[in-house]
Amino acid sequence: MTPERYEKIRRVLSRRQPTLTVLMDEVNKPHNFSAILRTCDAVGVLTAHAVPPKSGALPTFDATSGSAHKWVGVVKHPDALGAVRQLQAQDVQVLATHLSQRSLDYREPDYTRPTCVLLGAEKWGVSDEAAEAADANIVIPMFGMVQSLNVSVAAATILFEAQRQRLAAGMYATPQLAPAELERLAFEWAYPDLAPGYRERGEPYPALDEAGQLRR
């Protein structure tokens, strides 16, 4: 661990947005899944949510992710409706990307609030029941011959609007993670091979000095 690498880890963690996330509902193509996680990393999403496709497993990561899958956690859910309700119970507004009578332009919602963007499967989109349960439905206006965007493009468009609003609100200027959580993640990111051992033994992580070296 070089001091420069540790400094980068702390800088990235100090900009993570634990109150911004996505829920991928049966996004089944590895290049889409990977591209969405890469955008999540870029805008500071700490943890993404996903309902695996009917085949059972989450898509594997491919080169499209860069190394984003190492820096963005993925929580699995058995179904989208249950996941929507769980997030709402934690006071997260769920914005379903879905064309309906009540759809808003994607730039209208307040993304400085705890927010989850619900993204649909490539073939079927977001289910009607999950869209109805969501707090709002949002769309990216389209004026072409084709009816929809690629899901990873839609995710990037919306997440960068969230980033724009959060930058304007100063949410990248001060850490959004609690100090203890930031320290915990800094150790896990700096020492991914050591961290599991400490967890298995139920021991607290050791303190690191300012350069990210283990204190003796």
Q: Least distance from C-beta 136 to ligand SAM, angstroms?
A: 12
- Closer residue to ligand SAM in complex, CB, 141/202: 141
Residues near ligand SAM, by CB under 6 A: 97, 119-120, 122, 124-126, 139-140, 142, 148-149, 151, 154
Q: Is 121 marked within a binding site?
A: yes
CB of 158 to ligand SAM, least distance (A): 7
Is 125 assigned a ligand-binding role in the annotation?
Answer: no
Indicate the residue among 9 and 134 with the shorter CB distance to ligand SAM: 134
20's CB contacts (< 8 A; 6+ apart) are 43, 44, 45, 111, 114, 115, 159, 162, 166
Residue showing the smallest CB distance to ligand SAM in the complex:
125
Nearer to ligand SAM, 45 or 154 (CB): 154
On whether 185 is known to bind a ligand per the annotation, the reply is: no
140 labelled binding-site residue: yes
Tell whether 120 is in a known binding site: yes
Binding positions for S-adenosyl-L-methionine are 97, 120-124, 140, 149
